[in-house]
Amino acid sequence: MQTLNVGLHNPVLNNVNSVEFTIQETLKYVSGVFNIRVSYDGSEPTLIVYFRDVLRPLERLATVLDQDCVALYSHITNQGYLIGDKAEAWGEFNSEFFQHINAKEIA
């Protein structure tokens, strides 16, 4: 199981990607989706997807959505990753900023 965080702010267009568009694009890259929600708790609205498998490189998803990177957390390895062309600029994955679907998910 894995969780993906995708910010909705689009710095290239200086606006926000719609939830519908972000979900539509994200579903091209992941499979076995168990739950999706949008969080407004962090620094920007964030799509949170709890799923089983990555189908295509997530670097491309970040590019399609004009994101510096997306954040991925593996529940199998208990490790997180920042993935995208500008991921290095954000430093290491920081679990304090990562959002989960619910508390049971991280147990």
Per-residue confidence of the chain (107 residues) as pLDDT tens digits? 999 999 999 888 888 999 999 999 999 999 999 999 999 987 889 999 999 999 999 999 999 999 999 999 999 999 999 999 999 999 999 999 999 987 554 44
Phi, psi of 41 (to 5 degrees): -85, -20
Model's pTM, two decimal places?
A: 0.90
Burial classification of residue 46, based on how many CB atoms lie within 10 Å of its CB (0-12 exposed, 13-18 middle, 19 or more buried): buried
| All residues at 6 or more sequence positions from 34 whose CB lies less than 8 Å from its CB, including other chains | 1, 50, 51, 52
CA–CA dist 40, 61 (Å, integer): 21
